[in-house]
Amino acid sequence: MELLKTIKESEARPELEYIEPVKWKFRRSARAVVFDKDGKIGLLYVSNRGYYKLPGGGIENSEAIEDALKRECLEEIGCNVVVKGEVGRIVEYRNHIGVEQESLCYIAEVVGEKGEPKLEADEKEDGLKPVWVDFDEVMKLVENSEPNSYDGPFIVIRDLIFLKKAKELIGK
């Protein structure tokens, strides 16, 4: 899968002093630009953290990437999805928490009816709410996010890159 960008902490959080973690923890995740039958895209509004993000999350140890993506979409936006193509991957270096995160992004479509999300406790605490919007509005919502958490700026940068690349791919 094509590497679209490496995001360093100095780009996402320039106000923080540089530190080199003693040990890096590697985290791999699957994300998607999910379209419904009306051409709207599923996003998550993280209301208590001030930003919007694409659905997706961590890939568990023995889990296949596509299975993780389907599980995360069902949990976060309440939908079964089918993967239609690759968008790309982004690597983030979150020095202050010692995490190297690799996100693999796909284009997906909703299969069947939309249901209710099954959020985990920390996602409920963050105020995750699914929203379905047109592509132009998706870009505005993510661009105008004002994250108030450590991870938020990384997520906004990452998801804007994924959305721009997906738009380019769909236009071809």
Q: What was the pLDDT predicted at 172?
A: 60
Helix 152-171 / helix 135-143 crossing angle, nearest 10 deg: 160
Predicted pLDDT at 91: 98
pLDDT value for 73: 97
Calculate ∠ Cα 37-42-48, nearest 5°: 155
Per-residue pLDDT of the chain (172 residues; tens, 9 = 90+): 999 999 999 999 999 999 988 899 999 999 999 999 999 999 999 999 999 999 999 999 899 999 999 999 999 999 999 999 999 999 999 999 999 999 999 999 999 999 999 999 999 999 999 999 999 899 999 999 999 999 999 999 999 999 999 999 998 6
What is the pLDDT, as a whole number, of residue 22? 87
**3 state SS for the chain:** CCEEEEEEHHHHCCCCCCCCCCCCEEEEEEEEEEECCCCCEEEEEECCCCEEECCEEECCCCCCHHHHHHHHHHHHHCCEEEEEEEEEEEEEEEHHHCEEEEEEEEEEEEECCCCCCCCCHHHHHHCEEEEEECHHHHHHHHHCCCCCCCCHHHHHHHHHHHHHHHHHHHHC
Polymer length of the chain: 172
pLDDT, position 96: 93
The angle subtended at Cα 61 by Cα 57 and Cα 67, nearest 5°, is 55
The full set of domains in the chain, from first to last, is 3-171 (3.90.79.10)
